[in-house]
């Protein structure tokens, strides 16, 4: 909530920028297709996340229902009680259960909103990079013509440079905005995974498995986002490298040369500046958690 409230202006600016981009390129068939794919991807991911988190929230109710139906034993959803409310009494149990249910719903809504906020911002890079690639293809078609319009080619090169500058600025703002958030998210996920594994091993409380799965999924999600951003940066660099830049004038070649040099040092999301946010880091984190877990088990035994 604090992160969302402190980024209100940032979200407003990004909304205005993305909306302007859609208005600018929606009349161009190739770019409109790229932006439509981007919107559909975001929509499908939102539905998938909503399904996953809703299923995770409903899973918390499985154990109490099972204990009540099979063993005729009243069990709380969570080990979380209200002050001055006795859950052993019927009224206290109902109040506590309602309170815990509301907390689960708020948690799901909050996590979904937070995850989708960064997801929407990162995934729009896909559309911008696709537009960048399409503009390079347009440039190639222009320089292949028998009668080359050098003024139009110069304007197209300028447009490509501007779009690439916008990509870099977009990524820099994204990393600056979520620099601390990603660090806290990853560190908390690692801590939760380690402690939940230890609790499950020591207490055999299998309700924690759902929590382990949700935390694992959230950490995986962030690392996939970082990897996707890296792949899109690679796509922009490769598209520029394979363009027909050698058919341009010397001045235009110099401008694209600068863009190519800048694309080789693209901005990537990091975990507080300590490590890159990608699947390689995810695998390294999983190996570290497993090593510490086995070390603790060995020490206890």
Output the pLDDT for position 101.
87
Output the pLDDT for position 223.
86
Which domain, by its residues, includes 213?
12-299
For residue 2, is it within any domain? Answer: no
Name 249's Cβ contacts closer than 8 Å, sequence gap at least 6: 150, 153, 154
**32-66 pLDDT, tens digit each:** 888 888 888 888 888 888 888 888 778 778 777 87
Our count of domains for the chain comes to 1
Question: Which structure tokens are listed for 281?
Answer: 């880091």
Output the pLDDT for position 224.
85
For residue 157, is it within any domain? Answer: yes
For residue 286, is it within any domain? Answer: yes
The answer to whether the beta carbons of residues 93 and 74 sit under 8 Å apart is: yes
Output the pLDDT for position 153.
86
For residue 88, is it within any domain? Answer: yes
- 90-144 and 208-241 helices cross at what angle (nearest 10)? 10
For residue 7, is it within any domain? Answer: no
For residue 183, is it within any domain? Answer: yes
Q: Which residues of the chain have pLDDT under 50?
A: none
For residue 141, is it within any domain? Answer: yes
For residue 259, is it within any domain? Answer: yes
Q: Where are the alpha helices (DSSP H) in the chain?
A: 2-6, 8-25, 29-59, 62-71, 90-144, 150-203, 208-241, 250-263, 279-300
Label residue 278 left, alpha or beta by phi (over 0 means left) and psi (-120 to 50 means alpha). Answer: beta
Residue 246 is given by DSSP the state: G
Output the pLDDT for position 120.
83
pTM of the model: 0.78
Q: How many CB atoms lie under 10 A from the CB of residue 297?
A: 13
Output the pLDDT for position 208.
67
Nearest to 115 by CA among 57, 160, 181, 210: 181
């Amino acid at each position: 909530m604090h992160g969302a409230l402190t980024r209100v202006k940032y979200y407003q600016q990004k909304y205005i920028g993305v909306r302007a981009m859609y208005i600018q390129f929606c009349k161009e068939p190739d770019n409109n297709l790229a932006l439509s794919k981007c919107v559909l991807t975001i929509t499908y991911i939102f539905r998938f996340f909503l399904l996953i988190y809703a299923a995770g929230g409903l899973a918390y109710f499985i154990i109490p229902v099972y204990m009540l139906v099979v063993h005729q034993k009243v069990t709380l959803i969570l080990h979380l009680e209200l002050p001055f409310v006795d859950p052993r009494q019927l009224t206290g149990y109902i109040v506590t259960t309602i309170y815990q249910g509301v907390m689960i719903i708020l948690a799901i809504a909050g996590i979904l909103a937070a995850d989708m906020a960064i997801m929407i911002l990162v995934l729009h890079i896909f559309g911008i990079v696709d537009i960048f690639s399409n503009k390079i293809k347009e440039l190639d078609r222009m320089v292949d013509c028998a009668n080359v319009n050098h003024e139009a080619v110069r304007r197209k090169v300028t447009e490509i440079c501007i779009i690439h500058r916008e990509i870099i600025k977009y990524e820099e703002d994204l990393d600056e905005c979520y620099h601390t958030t990603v660090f806290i998210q990853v560190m908390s996920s690692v801590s939760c995974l380690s402690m939940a594994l230890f609790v499950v091993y020591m207490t055999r409380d299998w309700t924690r498995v759902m929590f382990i799965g949700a935390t694992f999924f959230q950490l995986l999600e962030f690392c996939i986002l970082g990897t996707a951003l890296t792949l899109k940066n690679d796509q922009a660099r490769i598209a520029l490298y394979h363009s027909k830049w050698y058919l341009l004038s010397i001045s235009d070649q110099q401008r694209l040369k600068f863009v190519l040099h800048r694309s080789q040092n693209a901005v990537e999301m990091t975990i507080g500046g300590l490590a890159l946010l990608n699947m390689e880091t995810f695998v390294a984190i999983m190996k570290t958690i497993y090593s510490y877990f086995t070390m603790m088990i060995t020490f206890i035994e």
